Each structure stands twice: as C-alpha cells, then as structure tokens.
Amino acid sequence: MTVTYVLDGTRVRTLEDFWRLIGEAVDGPGGYFGTNLDAFADCLSGGFGQPDDDDYVVEWREHQASREYLGYPETARQLEIRLSRCHPQNRPAVSADLTAARTEHGPTVFDWLVTIFEERAPGVLRLR
C-alpha cells in the first residue's frame, strides 16, 4: 500500500512553513521531517523521520502558490540567514548566490526542495 502525504501549497509561504508542514504531514502535529536542507535530504533517503514500512508519495497540492512564495525574495532571505551563520570559507559562495537571488537569477528555495526530492527520492514527489 502506498501512503500519500499531502502538502497544501497555499500554506507553504516560507521555508520554515515547509519544514513545519512536511513534518506534520509525515509525522503528525509537531512532527519532524528535517529542518534544514541536509536533514530533509537525509529523511528522504532513509534518515531519521522517513516512513519505514510503506511506499509513500508526497502530493504537493497548489504547488504553484508555493513556487511563487518560495521564489527569489524568500531565497534571498534564506541566503541572508545562511550568510550570517556559515563558515568564513563559505561566505564568498553564499554571497554570490545571494547576489544572484537578489537579481532573480539561479535556483529558488522551491527549486532547492524539488531538486532534493528528485535526487534523494525519485518518484516520491507529485506536484499538483
């Protein structure tokens, strides 16, 4: 049996919303399914929080709303946070990504998430 976890894209307005909503979808209220990109990738590929016993899909409904919310302004916000916390050796690369996001170039937060789904759990994500 395949379990379907549903994300309401109209409620995914920030990356923090995504972490909360994917955690709730998979593990119920207060649930965890990653709270950063690396942890999310780990959960998708068998790390902590992955559904163990069944095949599953994540149905991201109204994903176009999320695509808009998780566009360049949110990407720049996330990169500003990352820049404030990253190792000094990583600052040039993060700064370059931030400059690109501010000029609406490069991948967005939405793209980051979709790419992780595709790389770590091919076929699990259904955009609706």
At 29-68, the pLDDT tens digits run: 999 998 999 999 988 887 555 665 568 899 999 999 999 9
pLDDT category at 91 given cuts 50, 70, 90 is very high
Q: Minimal CA–CA distance to 56: which of 1, 117, 113, 19?
A: 1
> What's the one-letter identity of residue 19?
W
**43 or 9, greater pLDDT:** 9
**Does residue 119 have a pLDDT over 60?**
yes
| pLDDT of 19 higher than 60 | yes
First to last CA, the chain: 21
What the block records as the tokens of 37 is: 């990109």
Read off the pLDDT of each residue in 99-107 and give the average, rounded to a whole number.
98
Q: What is the separation of C-alpha 58 from the centre of its chain, rounded to a whole number of angstroms? A: 12
In this prediction the pTM is: 0.93
State the Cα–Cα distance between residues 38 and 56, nearest whole angstrom: 20
Domains of the chain: 2-71+108-127 (3.30.370.10)
Q: Mean pLDDT of all residues in the chain?
A: 93
In the predicted structure, residue 114 carries a pLDDT above the cut 80: yes
- Average pLDDT of the residues in 10-26: 97
Q: Return the pLDDT at 103.
A: 98
Strand order in the sheet with 2-8: 2-8, 55-61, 125-127
